[in-house]
Structure 1
Amino acid sequence: MTDLRADCTSCVGLCCVAPAFARSADFALDKPAGRPCVNLLADVRCGIHADLRDRGFPGCTVFDCFGAGQHVVASFGGKDWRSAPEVAEPMFAAFAVMRDLHELLWYLTSALARAEARPVHGELRQALAETERLTGLAPAELVAVDVGAHRASVNAWLLRTSELVRAGDSGRELRGADLMGRDLRGADLRGATLRGAYLIGADLTGADLSRADVIGADLRGATVSGARLATSLFLSQFQVNAARGDAATTLPPTLRRPTHWPE
């Protein structure tokens, strides 16, 4: 998992330049793709990093490239889009594809860590190997990868992993459910299918999400104080960063407790 963590010191601020931002509750301004954010300093550090939430940029605090940034920079021989403008456009295009592939690597690695998924470990390893092969392509080949088709093939085995992990639970089917702002305090969501569910602003205080499949679930502004997330399936760092928890919230050992959560 260490290779799938963002190392901003080995990147050149790609997440602050390549994507487009739209003025919203997550971003205080509009920023077109390929243009540096106004808060990006000359040394590619964020000038308001410590105050992003207070300054209207909570979306920046929840973004996670899964280590794609440093991988892309390395694939361009360590070049910087500022001093080598000729690599800017291809570097930004490669970053978008690499980020998606690294996210799949995170899910596949998470799946392989589940003993319940042993019946499909062989298929998961094959999918992992193929995804790693794609991340090793030259930049020009990388941008031609059909990420959608590859994601669909990987997702078939992630779904099977989910079924195996949740087999012992009579989990609720809440795939894509609109649960925005819902009072789910103390809810029994063990083994629930929350894939793509909208949990924005929901109150999950003390809820039990053990073995719940939360891939793609939107936890922006959700309260997870005291919630049991230690064995939630496919939980990612950016989902945790988007939520509001506390010292009583349990997390998988592969994830970090966000600094904005109270002790």
Structure 2
Amino acid sequence: MSLPDLPVLSSDCSQCSGLCCVLLPFSRDDGFKVSKPGGTPCANLAADDSCGIHATLRRDGWVGCTRFECFGAGQHVTRVTFAGASWRDQTDLGEMAAVLSVVRGLHEMLLHLRTAADRAAGVVPDGLVEEIVALDHADPVTLLTTDLDELQARVGTVLRDASVAVRGSGPDLSYDDLAGRDLRTRDLGRATLRGAVLIQADLRDTSLDDTDLLGADLRDADVRGTDLSSTLFLTQPQVNGARGDARTVLPDGIDRPGHWT
């Protein structure tokens, strides 16, 4: 299936006005050094909307920042939705934050639909991607009044169908609590680990061939030497939160985190 031109689905902070650093709330419980409410600029935000400690975020206690990925929503909201206007130009930061959340969700849907189209021919219905791309370019009011639950439900059905088409009758471990488990001897190829809790799980030197990882919590999961190249629906934030090394094999389009050294 040939998809229409998609927006950039990875972050480019140079084209954004620091939206995640201002609009989103931070919590110590989620790996940030301090907690702050949404709409309050981070103390590390520079006058040019860059991060003053970007090179030392983890060392300085801002692990949550290194896990985050907006899927290109930040620069899209800045450059397209608000036509280049900064958060500094807005009187309603709550609205801008809500728009950012919606666009991030749309971009994540597009990212997964692209994977579904690549891996399971014919599973993505005609017009669905075009509908989301058109909504992505809509004005704030349209974005905030669209029935996103209904759209997400339709996309979810497509992703489930794609997963089954690729995996066949692989084991179902959806939403299982596998936190801290040694999974090195488990055959997880073609399994679905959707929504599974894999915090600090040991996956070293395993092969997750055609494994569905949609929404799996991989924070501090040990994927050193793990082959993730053919996994389904793996995202940059999941990889950013995991522990890997130079031997970890990543899918096309996923960047190797800088802290994997």
Equivalent pair of 1:225/1:244 in contact (CA under 8 Å): yes
Residues 208-217 or 253-262, more deviating: 253-262
Aligned to 1:99: 104
Distance 1:120 1:151, change over 3 A: same
Q: Which runs of 4+ in 1 moved over 6 A?
A: none
Distance 1:78 1:152, change over 3 A: same
Aligned to 1:246: 245
Q: Find 1:118's aligned residue among 92, 117, 121.
A: 121
CA–CA distance in 2 between the matches of 1:20 and 1:137?
25
User: TM-score, normalised on structure 2?
Assistant: 0.93
1:79 is aligned to 2:80: no
Aligned to 1:193: 192
Q: CA deviation at 1:186?
A: 4.7
Number of aligned positions between the proteins: 255
Distance 1:141 1:111, change over 3 A: same
User: TM-score, normalised on structure 1?
Assistant: 0.92
Equivalent pair of 1:226/1:247 in contact (CA under 8 Å): yes
CA–CA distance in 1 between the matches of 2:123 and 2:187?
28
Distance 1:15 1:7, change over 3 A: same
Q: Find 2:18's aligned residue among 9, 13, 17.
A: 13
1:144 is aligned to 2:145: yes
Matches within 5 A, 1:133-172: 133-167=134-168, 170-172=169-171
Q: Find 1:22's aligned residue among 21, 24, 27.
A: 27
Distance 1:108 1:63, change over 3 A: same
The residue type paired with residue 111 of structure 1 is A
1:60 is aligned to 2:54: no
Equivalent pair of 2:116/2:123 in contact (CA under 8 Å): no
Aligned to 1:258: 257
The residue type paired with residue 235 of structure 2 is S
Q: Find 2:9's aligned residue among 4, 10, 23.
A: 4
Distance 1:27 1:155, change over 3 A: same
Equivalent pair of 1:187/1:204 in contact (CA under 8 Å): no
Q: CA deviation at 1:25?
A: 5.1
Gapped runs of 5+ residues in structure 1? none
Equivalent pair of 1:230/1:250 in contact (CA under 8 Å): yes
Residues 234-243 or 186-195, more deviating: 186-195
Q: CA deviation at 1:2?
A: 7.1
The residue type paired with residue 151 of structure 1 is Q
CA–CA distance in 2 between the matches of 1:119 and 1:192?
22
The residue type paired with residue 258 of structure 1 is P
Aligned to 1:230: 229
Q: CA deviation at 1:234?
A: 0.5
Equivalent pair of 2:222/2:244 in contact (CA under 8 Å): yes
Q: CA deviation at 1:245?
A: 0.8
Identity of aligned residues (%): 48
CA–CA distance in 2 between the matches of 1:60 and 1:126?
35
The residue type paired with residue 53 of structure 1 is R
Q: CA deviation at 1:248?
A: 1.1
CA–CA distance in 2 between the matches of 1:235 and 1:49?
24
